[in-house]
Structure 1
Amino acid sequence: MENVKEPEELNAATTALVVIDLQNGIASTGRELHPYPVEQVIRNADNLVKAFTEKGAFVVLVRVSTLDGKDMLKPKTDLQVSPPQYPEGWDQIVPELAKYQGTYTLAKHQWGAFFGTDLDLQLRRRGIRTIVLCGISTSIGVDTTAREAYQLGYDQVFAEDAMGASSREEHEFVCKTIFSRIGRIRTSAEAAASLT
């Protein structure tokens, strides 16, 4: 299979930016993220939000949230994980992105941003056909959302340097084996520059 990188334009009227889980409790300073540090992921996402809002494109800031933890999934797994802690403000969008007016903040209760939310409704009512996707984690929230979007028929552009995972291997595996099959992989600068 050959990678083809064609020149492209993203129409601001039919393209949305969807940012996954860049919130205080997940994108905290000092968190180890690969291959890009969390500060770079936030900075690149910030540049995307700025470009999209300036062009009047739809921006969705997705956060995972819960009232009391009872609406969160609790499957039986081989990996033992500690019960999550929900300190005050953990589910608030990071300040760098929260400052923008006119963005749509969406709360989800699982990895993907489509299941159990009104994201598909919000996009379709605005005539959105393409989403630019970024956030944390490449291999969990971004990947699950991307697979859901693929099954719903959206074209996708992945802003590769505005996302990260727990390891470089996780990030690269998802980008090379999944994202390249269901969309186009670009830098955040390329995605922003192609928006018309």
Structure 2
Amino acid sequence: MITSLDKNTALILIDLQRGIVNTPKAHPVAGILENAAKLTEAFRNANLPIVVTNVNAAGAAWTRSRKDQRMPVGAYKDDFLDITHEIKTEPGDIIITKHTWGAFFETTLREQLQERGVTGIVLGGVSTSIGIEGTARQAMEYGYNVSFALDAMTDNVAEAHNNSIMHIFPRIGEVGTTDEIIAKLIS
């Protein structure tokens, strides 16, 4: 349940890029994108920072390490990194290209949030158990108050999504709906 949002809260949308949203997901992507767009509009109307990330793991060190399950990383189609058209970015938005699961590692995200006095973040996007959870863990370690927009995120694997929502996120922050978050923005 979302009890409050910090006065200086940023919206961080994870990997809502064409090459990722166009793959099978546990929940209908149209609804996820609609809620992410509603959050974007609400944060814009509240004059709060909006961060949009995409991921380009090509050449990242972690892609060469040993693991039981290999993640597909290779040549991308031309539009793979493009943010989906449902999410309208503007020149004042913070655009981050990350190379790992979390949006803070080896990016300028923390510095840009600090410059704006951000103390809280709201997370949505894809994938719940990877990019969102990775970013949330890093944000918690930096001391940000973290809120999760449950109906603005999905995962490729329903069980992984549910594990993050039920067992991990409540240890990191507060979990609520898009409408609950927007209500706290305007109260």
TM-score, length basis structure 1: 0.88
- The residue type paired with residue 133 of structure 2 is D
What amino acid does structure 2 have at the position aligned with 1:148?
Answer: Q
In structure 1, distance between residues paired with 2:72 and 2:84: 24
Structure (1 or 2) with the greater helix fraction: 2
Q: What are structure 2's unaligned runs of at least 5 residues? A: none
Q: Report % sequence identity.
A: 36
2:4 paired with 1:8: yes
Correspondence 1:172 to 2:162: yes
1:152 equivalent in alignment to 2:146: no
Deviations 1:30-88 (A, max 9, x none): x3212x2111111110000000001100000011126xx22353221112444433000
1:60 is the counterpart of 2:51: yes
- The SS at the match of 1:98 is coil
Q: 1:189 to 1:88 in 2, by over 3 A?
A: same
Letter of the 2:33 counterpart: I
In structure 2, the residue matched to 1:26 is 20
Q: Which residue in the other structure is 1:39 paired with?
A: 30
Q: Which runs of 5+ in 1 are unaligned?
A: none
Q: How many residues align structurally?
A: 185
Of 136, 142, 145, the residue aligned with 2:126 is 136
Contact 1:72 / 1:110 at 8 angstroms: preserved in 2?
no
- What amino acid is aligned across from residue 173 of structure 1 in structure 2? N
- Offset at residue 122 of structure 1 (A): 0.6
- Offset of residue 98 of structure 1: 3.4
Q: How far apart are residue 99 of structure 1 and its match?
A: 4.5
Contact 2:6–2:145 (Cα < 8 Å) also in 1? no
Distance of 2:87 and 2:182 partners within structure 1: 16
**Distance in 1 of aligned mates of 2:123 and 2:2:** 19
